[in-house]
Amino acid sequence: MLNERKLKILEAIVKDYIETAEPIGSRTIEKKYNLGISSATIRNEMSDLEEMGYIIQPHTSSGRVPSDKGYRLYVDNLMNYRELTLDEATFLKNIIANNINHMEYLMKETAKAISLLTNYTTIVSEPTVNKTKISHVQLMPMDEKSIALALITDSKAIKNHVVLVDFELSDAELNNLTQILNSWLRGRAIDEVDVDNVKMSGDSNISKVFYKVLDAIKNIILQEKNVNIYTSGVNNMLDFPEFSDIEKVKSLFKTFEERDVLITLLGESSADDIQIVIGAENSIEQMKDLSIIKANYQFKGRDLGAIGIVGPKRMDYFQVSSILNGIVKNINDILRNAGNDDG
Amino acid sequence: MLNERKLKILEAIVKDYIETAEPIGSRTIEKKYNLGISSATIRNEMSDLEEMGYIIQPHTSSGRVPSDKGYRLYVDNLMNYRELTLDEATFLKNIIANNINHMEYLMKETAKAISLLTNYTTIVSEPTVNKTKISHVQLMPMDEKSIALALITDSKAIKNHVVLVDFELSDAELNNLTQILNSWLRGRAIDEVDVDNVKMSGDSNISKVFYKVLDAIKNIILQEKNVNIYTSGVNNMLDFPEFSDIEKVKSLFKTFEERDVLITLLGESSADDIQIVIGAENSIEQMKDLSIIKANYQFKGRDLGAIGIVGPKRMDYFQVSSILNGIVKNINDILRNAGNDDG
DNA sequence: GTTAGCACTCGATAAAGTTGGTTGCTAACA
DNA sequence: TGTTAGCAACCAACTTTATCGAGTGCTAAC
């Protein structure tokens, strides 16, 4: 295992590289970090560290750069979380307080806030309804050809849809139908709803609408099985020297547009605490040069979605994981309070 | 005014530059376009064209490039629209048909489609509700602490909001309140609603909720007075040699994130047909090197929003304005049909 | 085990050279 | 008077060559 001195040197290399993005040599370490040993000694230790796979020499006669393994050691053994600063904490509390009524906004705004605080890219997957229960369904008059449908879940999501019809229904008829639907749907888990096996007898116009509404609900459910996903601060990537090449930018930005990739990226594990995935540790080819720091959030024990912060491998793991830690606590608190009635 | 030969040469320069992005010289014109005159003559004519301000020499001893004035002449006098190709037409019809039930999706998907067809960036401003009338308001139970509110407009937009309360209301009470709200709000223009001057007497709990709902409606109206705006295909800009410099990309992408700029860009005029704004003709400093082709769409005679396609000044004015022309017709048809009941 | 000294490596930057498309001008021509 | 061939000059872009500097590995001495 690594001795104290090697650890110190590795830590210096990682921190310096995170800060400067330049390969770092023995003489620089000697001057910048007072380790009390000469550059020649540092050179010997670095040679060992390279052999052990913790650092890499981009080319002969250049300084060293941390390898994935080096970052891993740093993250696991040399780093801890800090508390949020007062500024960060109030900033985030405000965001959350201002968007507490609207889940979708909350996630979008949180992503924005994280990007702003960290200068990295944030990916958020939205609370999906398919793991939740239907708490209410409502039909509403729109115009003589269309009926609006709202579906509310116990995770406080509201989904709308428009149902086209050939004839107009009165408010009373709509209310009536709304009651029928609710008596049947309320409290059901959304992915257990089997709209194909419902039958309705009686007035033909109303039952026509009834089936159309069931179809619409089916659509909402299908649609929602595809997770919603947002990114924020993608442009922040342009500020890193890692992406001074336009071709790299192009391929990275294309990747950020691929839902599937993002979903995989966020979904790969679902541990309870904050996960740090470094470089090639993730399975996505196009992301081999990036790291991601992520966390899941839960509602009533169900995983609802995740927040991930993406940056170059030399991203500021310390700052980002600290901030994410603070945020996840806050959000989970909110979700817990929102649902402290039953369950 | 320009004689026939000068026009031919200018047209050749514009078309060639749109295609190749390289300054074009007299010898190239001679060889590539059979104008029946020698390069020396072309050279003389080009010298005239430059003096008249239609073309520019980026540096001594390079070929010529169209100036804003040159593009203007080309667009106004040398270009016309073509019909949509069958492929384009069916593609667009499908998009529209698939999203006819949901205004927001329709605009987003249209923007996506345009970016896909043209390889430029599309900006769309969403139908705002503040120019429309309220056709229905609905309260719905959410959980014991919150009531969901849906507001439907005659332009088929559905807006949701959550109202927090300290106590639970029964379905019957909610329906009751819904009726009261509708009797008062239905048919009103949304920007004429004056929620501050309503009074309600009677049961204290219900009237408490009543005022909270009015507040929420106020919020929706205020929020919607800020136009919603989307961009699509921003990354397409990366493919143009104009943006091979990372600094330019950075500043352009930052600009695309500024709502105000985009709103100004789309809103600058509101003529009936397609408008082409070339380079410095628009008032936005950061957009001096770009052109925008845009159109408004209307609903019942009211301007609802606009679609704009942004590209480098040498964008394919012919293709883009033709496609936009086709799209606007389709969308306005849809909106007209959606509202052919009254008004 | 640690350190000073030194030859060597190699990317980055700067300087010098080459190329190719283009112009403007002049003189000859129709 | 308009058109054209011919030619010197121009200059961005690219290639080649030279220089620089931060860094290494190795050796010998402490």
Domain boundaries, chain A: 4-78, 86-127+227-338, 134-225
List pLDDT tens digits, range B133-157. Answer: 889 999 999 888 889 999 998 877 8
Name every residue in A having a CB less than 8 A away from some CB of B.
101-102, 135-136, 138, 140-144, 146, 148, 150, 152, 154, 156, 158, 160-164, 175, 235, 238-239, 243-246, 249-250, 253-254, 257, 338-339, 341
% of chain B surpassing 90 pLDDT:
51
Q: What pLDDT is attached to residue B270?
A: 67
* Amino acid, single-letter form, for residue A101: N
A253 contacts B143? CB cut-off 8 A? no
A144 contacts B150? CB cut-off 8 A? no
Statement: residue B342 has pLDDT above 70: no
Opening angle at CA B242, ends B240 and B244, nearest 5: 80
CATH number of the domain at A134-225, please? 3.30.390.60
% of chain A surpassing 90 pLDDT:
52
Averaged over A31-39, what is the pLDDT? 92
CATH 3.30.390.60 corresponds to the domain B130-225: yes
pLDDT band at B302 (very low <50, low <70, confident <90, very high): low
Residue B8: CB partners within 8 Å, gap ≥ 6?
B33, B35
Averaged over A168-173, what is the pLDDT? 87
Nucleic strand C under 7 Å from the C-beta of B127 = no
Question: Which candidate in A143, A217, A231, A342 is best for mutational testing of the B interface (most B CBs within 10 A)?
Answer: A143
Averaged over A136-159, what is the pLDDT? 88
As a rounded value in angstroms, the CA-to-C1' distance for B308 and C20 is: 40
Residue A107: CB partners within 8 Å, gap ≥ 6?
A124, A126, A127, A230, A305
Is residue B115 within 8 A of residue B288, CB to CB? The reply is no
A144 contacts B140? CB cut-off 8 A? no
SS3 A285: helix
As a rounded value in angstroms, the CA-to-C1' distance for B173 and C4 is: 90
Nucleic strand C under 7 Å from the C-beta of A274 = no
Averaged over B27-38, what is the pLDDT? 92
Per-residue 3-state assignment (H helix, E strand, C coil) for chain B: CCCHHHHHHHHHHHHHHHHHCCCECHHHHHHHCCCCCCHHHHHHHHHHHHHCCCEECCCCCCCEEECHHHHHHHHHHHCCCCCCCHHHHHHHHHHHHHCCCCHHHHHHHHHHHHHHHHCCEEEEECCCHHHCEEEEEEEEEEECCEEEEEEEECCCCEEEEEEECCCCCCHHHHHHHHHHHHHHHCCCEHHHCCHHHCCCCCCHHHHHHHHHHHHHHHHHHHHHHCCCEEEECHHHHHHCHHHCCHHHHHHHHHHHCCHHHHHHHHHCCCCCCCEEECHHHCCCHHHCCEEEEEEEEEECCEEEEEEEEEEECCCCHHHHHHHHHHHHHHHHHHHHHHCCCCC
Residue B87: CB partners within 8 Å, gap ≥ 6?
none
Strand partners, A312: A290
First-to-last alpha carbon distance for chain A, in angstroms, is 48
Q: Which residue in B138, B162, B250 is closest to A138 by CB distance?
A: B138
As a rounded value in angstroms, the CA-to-C1' distance for B36 and D8 is: 27
CATH 3.30.450.40 corresponds to the domain A86-127+227-338: yes
Averaged over B66-71, what is the pLDDT? 96
Is residue A7 within 8 A of residue A78, CB to CB? The reply is yes
CATH 1.10.10.10 corresponds to the domain B4-78: yes
* Amino acid, single-letter form, for residue A164: L
Q: What pLDDT is attached to residue A112?
A: 94
Ranking A225-234, A265-274, A329-338, B304-313 by mean pLDDT, the lowest is A329-338
Q: Which nucleotide is nearest to A29 (CA to C1')?
A: D23
List pLDDT tens digits, range B210-264. Answer: 888 888 888 877 766 667 889 999 999 999 999 988 989 999 999 999 988 998 8
Averaged over B285-314, what is the pLDDT? 87
Nucleic strand C under 7 Å from the C-beta of A37 = yes
Is residue A14 within 8 A of residue A66, CB to CB? The reply is yes
Contacts of B170 in chain A (CB under 8 A): none
As a rounded value in angstroms, the CA-to-C1' distance for B279 and D13 is: 27
- Which pTM value belongs to this model? 0.85
Q: What pLDDT is attached to residue B129?
A: 58
Residue B142: CB partners within 8 Å, gap ≥ 6?
A135, A136, A152, A156, B148, B162
Averaged over B1-15, what is the pLDDT? 92
As a rounded value in angstroms, the CA-to-C1' distance for A48 and D22 is: 20
Residues B131 and B193: their CA atoms lie apart, in Å, by 12
Q: Which residue in B136, B249, B254 is closest to A140 by CB distance?
A: B136
A141 contacts B135? CB cut-off 8 A? yes
Residues B259 and B266: their CA atoms lie apart, in Å, by 11
SS3 A189: strand
% of chain B surpassing 70 pLDDT:
91
Residue A45 CA to chain centroid, in angstroms? 39
Choose the most confident range, by mean pLDDT, from B58-62, B303-307, B308-312. B308-312
SS3 A343: coil
Averaged over A118-129, what is the pLDDT? 85
Q: Which CATH class is domain B86-127+228-338?
A: alpha beta
pLDDT band at A106 (very low <50, low <70, confident <90, very high): confident
Q: Which nucleotides in chain D lie less than 7 Å from some protein C-beta?
A: 3-6, 9-12, 21-27
Averaged over A258-275, what is the pLDDT? 84
